[in-house]
Structure formats: structure tokens, C-alpha cells
């Protein structure tokens, strides 16, 4: 790789990221049902009808997995706790579940790594799904209780904590586009989820602060660089940007929603939403930025709001069909700091790609991924040189894992997982990152 640790500011954190449902295995230990289980059990939703029952069996293999993180010269391990493991019925603490995360955090620390905790990475307990899920305000309030239970147990040892991972996916992708659990397509439900997920962030922040934890607290948002297909599509790209990027960023940093997005969503907002905005914009200590690709937008004149569709762009694509556009990461970081977050530290909490990876004996050569990381790290460096306070970069993901609606079909890991044996094989990208940051 052309970059190395010495190119980055002193103290810059290199890490790898994972999420509970994607790796732990819900059959391990005591875990309650989540909306991902029933979504996956519905014919046609997930490739091969696969679910997180076994996943990477990380629940039993976390020691071996954390050895890989340490031996890869990383500084930070980003992981999530599952609400369904901590509270299988959504409300009652399961001692066995918290004990697992206790062991996990200690194992992270024993290896000299910094634990970075995410409280919600998508496995909503089914009891809330039954009551309307994120379209119901009560779900956000219950999330605060869950956050408090986790922080009371782990808050003395985690270095950083994020309330929510990728609110756009939780709200829009899942309730308007219907592509993630619960697989709905309804603008009223989606709009309520768009607000209640921000309220859950507010409740989570209050719980973290009230727990007395010294962990740096924030939220992880996912961004896509909006690209109009032609000059005539500029307004469509702006509408996409409002829903995908500015809705959450503006709420959290300025306590307001973008006016152009409210033009479409306003009629469906829950009563009294304005009263929540002060809590939603309470100060955060850091912002997590997930970035993978850009999105090309085509205007749909005469269609109902938001009247756009995304269309394939011309650049080379990953196995997900996502265009590889490294400049979008640096440009987005620069824009976020300039227009929204100022001096607040930013961490790139996810960046990576799915590849058509194959084992050859014990090795897996993934040169496209090596180039992807190199180009995106160069883009981060360019933004840092422009003055953006980027403090870390985490690769997604440590392991091949359950890629939601794509099941186990897409491989994002820097470590190959043979699901038949659960053996782990570091890919060439793991070795390349290890050498670059050693
Ligand atoms: O696997 C997901 C992760 O759970 C959230 N961010 C994007 C990744 C790749 O799709």
C-alpha cells in the first residue's frame, strides 16, 4: 500500500469493525427473537433464507478473532452489543448476556486494544416490532433503558460508545425501500422511524451521560456521495442528499431537519416532534462516518415525492454492485466538518468492500480490496490536510459475515471465513493493512 501509519497524525486510530448479529450466532447463549429472524424466515427476503443463527460463531471464537485484531497491528476493535442478548424480551436484563460482553470487553483490553461499542446495530427485539417497531415512539424510550443497562456494566471500560449505527438504514432502507427488516414500504411509517431513531439516539445519549461513563459518546451515520446523472438531475441529487445525509446530520448538530426534506416528510411526522429536537442535538463527543460508495440519481418528473431513482454509474463496482469512488470519502469528511461538526472529532467507523473472494489453499488474494483501502486512506489523508479533524479509520469488516439481505453471499472481511469449518484465513488485504500500520 502507498500509505503507512507515519503519514497520519500522532494518535490516529486504526481499527476493524464488526456487529453482533452478523458474527456472534444467535443460537449461542440466551438470545431473544429479533425482527431480523422473522424477516429472514420470510421467503424472498434474504438470499437462501439465511439468518444469524450460527454466523461466524464469534460467541465461542472471540479470543481467536481478537488475536487477529491484535496481530494485525490495529488499535481499536469496534463491536456492538445485541439488545436481544442483553434483554431477550426487550426489557428484562439477562445476566448471561451481559456476562458475555463483559468477557469480550476484558479480552479486548487484555490484548492492548481499545473497545469501541455500538449499542444498536439492528437486531430489534420482536416485542417492539410487534408494537410498530421504530414507527412507535415507545421503542425509542425503551432503547434508553437498554443503553443504560449496557453502560452500567461496560461503561467503565469502553473507550468510545455510539448510540446507533446507520439510522438511514434503520429508517429509510427498512421502511421506505423495504430492503431490510422489517421490509416495509410506507412513507408514513418510514417518516416516523426517521424521527424516532433520532429520538432513540437522544435517549441513548442521556443514558450514557447518566451512567457516569467516561467513554466518548456519539453516533455512527452512513453517507453516500450524491451524483446527479446529468445537469437535469441536480435537484433529484439534492433531494437524495437531504434524506440520506442531511436529515440525521442536521438534526444532531443543529437541532433541525432540512427544510427541503420536510417538504416531503412533514405531513407524516409524529405530533410534537419539534419538542424532541433539543435533546436530539445534545452535544456529542465524536461522529462516526461510514462510507462505501456514491449514488447516481435520476430525476422522475411528475412522480410522487421524492421523485428520483438511483441508477448504475460508470465506475468499476464491488461485488455489491456499488461504485468504487474514493474521492467521495474525503470530500464528504471535509463537507461534514466544514458545514456541521466543526472541531468535533470524526472517525471513519466503516469503509470496505465485498469481493468475489476465494480460498487458494490457506490464502486468499484480494488485490482489488487492497487498492480500495489504499485509495480511501489517501482520500482521508487529503481531507486531514485540509484541516478535517479525522481521528481514526476502521475497516469493515474483520470477518466475512452475515451481510443482511444478501445472507452469507457477500464477503466484506479482511479475514476469510470458511463457514463449513468456521476456520479463519487472513486475506492479502489483512496483511497489507498490517504492514501499512505496523
Ligand atoms: O454489513 C454492513 C454493516 O452492518 C453496516 N454498514 C454497511 C455494511 C456493508 O453493507
Predicted TM-score (pTM) of this structure: 0.99
Which of 412, 413, 414, 417 for a ligand 1 pocket mutation test, highest count of atoms within 8 Å of Cβ? Answer: 412
Which of 55, 173, 404, 410 for a ligand 1 pocket mutation test, highest count of atoms within 8 Å of Cβ? Answer: 404
Active site residue 166: yes
Give the SS3 label for residue 331. helix
Q: What pLDDT does residue 427 have?
A: 99
- Write the burial class of residue 179 (CB in 10 Å: 0-12 exposed, 13-18 middle, 19+ buried): middle
**Integer angstrom CA distances of residue 346 from 228, 350, 394:** 27, 12, 12
3-state secondary structure 20-72: HHHHCCCCCCCCCCEHHHHHHCCCCCCHHHCCCCCCCCHHHHHHHHHHHHHHC
Q: Mind listing the pLDDT tens digit of every residue in the chain (438 residues)?
A: 999 999 999 999 999 999 999 999 999 999 999 999 999 999 999 999 999 999 999 999 999 999 999 999 999 999 999 999 999 999 999 999 999 999 999 999 999 999 999 999 999 999 999 999 999 999 999 999 999 999 999 999 999 999 999 999 999 999 999 999 999 999 999 999 999 999 999 999 999 999 999 999 999 999 999 999 999 999 999 999 999 999 999 999 999 999 999 999 999 999 999 999 999 999 999 999 999 999 999 999 999 999 999 999 999 999 999 999 999 999 999 999 999 999 999 999 999 999 999 999 999 999 999 999 999 999 999 999 999 999 999 999 999 999 999 999 999 999 999 999 999 999 999 999 999 999
Q: What pLDDT does residue 386 have?
A: 98
Q: What pLDDT does residue 344 have?
A: 99
Q: What pLDDT does residue 58 have?
A: 99
Check residue 245 and report its DSSP letter: I
Atom of ligand 1 nearest to the CA of 22: 4
Give the SS3 label for residue 380. helix
Which of 16, 18, 19 for a ligand 1 pocket mutation test, highest count of atoms within 8 Å of Cβ? Answer: 19
- What contacts 410, CB < 8 A, 6 or more positions away? 319, 320, 354, 403
Q: How far apart are the first and last CA of the chain?
A: 12
Examine residue 306 and say whether the peptide bond preceding it is cis (omega within 30 degrees of 0): yes
Atom of ligand 1 nearest to the CA of 396: 8
Q: Tell me how far apart the alpha carbons of residues 399 and 322 are, in angstroms, rounded to a whole number.
A: 20
| Pocket flag, ligand 1, residue 396 (CB < 6 Å) | yes
Atom of ligand 1 nearest to the CA of 320: 10
Closest listed residue to residue 55, CA positions, set 426, 398, 428, 434: 398
**pLDDT mean across residues, the chain:** 98
Count of residues in the chain: 438
- Could you tell me how far CA 106 lies from the centroid of its own chain? 23
Active site residue 323: no
CA dihedral for 197, 202, 204, 205, sign (positive or negative): positive
CB–CB of 203/147 below 8 Å? yes
Q: Tell me how far apart the alpha carbons of residues 224 and 262 are, in angstroms, rounded to a whole number.
A: 20
CB–CB of 46/404 below 8 Å? yes
CA dihedral for 281, 286, 290, 291, sign (positive or negative): positive
Catalytic residue among 166, 203, 250, 323: 166
Domain ranges (residues) in the chain: 5-437
From ligand 1's centre to the CA of 188, what distance in Å? 25
From ligand 1's centre to the CA of 271, what distance in Å? 32
| Pocket flag, ligand 1, residue 19 (CB < 6 Å) | yes
| 122 labeled binding residue | no
pLDDT in tens, 163-192: 999 999 999 999 999 999 999 999 999 999
pLDDT in tens, 400-414: 999 999 999 999 999
Q: Tell me how far apart the alpha carbons of residues 257 and 274 are, in angstroms, rounded to a whole number.
A: 10
**Closest residue (by CA) to atom 10 of ligand 1?**
403
From ligand 1's centre to the CA of 303, what distance in Å? 30
Determine phi and psi for 77, rounding to 5 degrees.
-115, 115
Atom of ligand 1 nearest to the CA of 403: 1
| 404 labeled binding residue | yes
Atom of ligand 1 nearest to the CA of 222: 6
From ligand 1's centre to the CA of 403, what distance in Å? 7
| Pocket flag, ligand 1, residue 333 (CB < 6 Å) | no
Q: What pLDDT does residue 170 have?
A: 99
| 386 labeled binding residue | no
Q: What pLDDT does residue 132 have?
A: 98
CATH number of the 5-437 domain: 3.20.20.80
| Pocket flag, ligand 1, residue 400 (CB < 6 Å) | no
Amino acid at each position: 500500500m502507498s500509505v503507512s501509519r507515519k503519514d497520519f497524525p500522532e494518535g490516529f486510530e486504526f481499527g476493524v469493525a464488526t456487529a453482533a448479529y452478523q458474527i456472534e450466532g444467535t443460537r449461542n447463549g440466551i438470545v431473544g427473537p429479533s425482527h431480523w429472524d422473522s424477516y429472514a424466515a420470510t421467503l424472498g427476503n434474504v438470499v437462501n433464507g439465511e439468518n444469524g443463527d450460527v454466523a461466524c460463531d464469534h460467541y465461542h471464537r472471540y479470543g481467536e478473532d481478537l488475536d487477529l485484531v491484535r496481530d494485525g497491528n490495529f488499535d481499536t476493535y469496534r463491536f456492538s452489543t445485541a439488545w436481544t442478548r442483553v434483554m431477550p424480551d426487550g426489557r428484562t436484563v439477562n445476566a448471561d448476556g451481559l456476562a458475555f460482553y463483559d468477557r469480550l470487553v476484558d479480552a479486548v483490553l487484555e490484548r492492548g486494544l481499545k473497545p469501541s461499542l455500538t449499542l444498536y446495530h439492528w437486531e430489534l427485539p420482536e416485542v417492539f416490532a410487534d408494537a410498530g417497531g421504530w414507527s412507535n415512539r415507545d421503542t425509542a424510550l425503551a432503547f434508553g433503558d437498554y443503553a443504560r443497562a449496557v453502560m452500567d456494566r461496560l461503561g467503565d471500560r469502553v473507550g468510545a460508545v455510539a448510540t446507533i449505527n446507520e439510522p438511514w438504514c434503520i429508517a429509510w432502507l427498512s421502511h421506505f425501500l423495504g430492503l431490510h427488516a422489517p421490509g416495509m414500504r410506507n412513507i408514513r411509517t418510514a417518516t416516523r422511524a426517521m424521527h424516532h431513531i433520532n429520538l432513540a439516539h437522544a435517549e441513548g445519549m442521556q443514558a450514557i451521560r447518566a451512567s457516569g461513563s467516561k467513554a466518548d459518546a456519539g453516533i455512527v451515520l452512513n453517507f453516500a456521495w450524491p451524483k446527479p446523472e446529468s445537469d437535469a438531475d441536480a435537484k433529484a441529487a439534492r433531494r437524495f442528499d437531504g434524506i440520506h445525509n442531511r436529515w440525521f446530520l442536521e438534526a444532531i448538530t443543529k437541532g433541525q431537519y432540512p427544510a427541503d426534506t420536510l417538504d416531503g416528510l412533514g405531513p407524516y411526522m409524529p405530533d410534537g416532534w419539534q419538542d424532541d429536537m433539543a435533546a436530539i442535538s445534545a452535544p456529542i463527543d465524536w461522529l462516526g462516518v461510514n462510507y462505501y460508495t456514491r449514488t447516481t440519481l435520476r430525476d422522475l418528473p411528475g412522480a410522487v415525492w421524492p421523485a428520483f431513482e438511483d441508477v448504475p454509474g460508470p465506475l468499476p463496482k464491488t461485488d455489491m454492485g456499488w461504485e468504487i469512488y474514493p474521492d467521495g470519502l474525503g470530500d464528504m469528511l471535509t463537507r461534514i466538518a466544514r458545514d456541521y461538526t466543526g472541531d468535533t472529532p470524526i472517525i471513519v467507523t466503516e469503509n470496505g468492500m465485498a469481493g468475489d473472494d476465494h480460498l487458494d489453499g490457506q490464502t486468499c488474494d484480494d488485490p482489488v480490496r487492497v487498492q480500495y483501502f489504499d485509495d480511501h486512506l489517501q482520500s482521508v489523508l487529503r481531507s486531514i490536510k485540509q484541516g478535517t479533524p479525522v481521528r481514526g479509520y476502521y475497516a469493515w469488516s474483520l470477518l466475512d459475515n452475515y451481510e443482511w439481505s444478501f445472507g452469507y453471499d457477500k464477503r466484506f472481511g479482511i479475514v476469510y471465513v470458511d463457514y463449513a469449518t468456521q476456520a479463519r484465513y487472513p486475506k492479502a488485504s489483512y496483511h497489507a493493512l498490517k504492514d501499512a500500520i505496523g
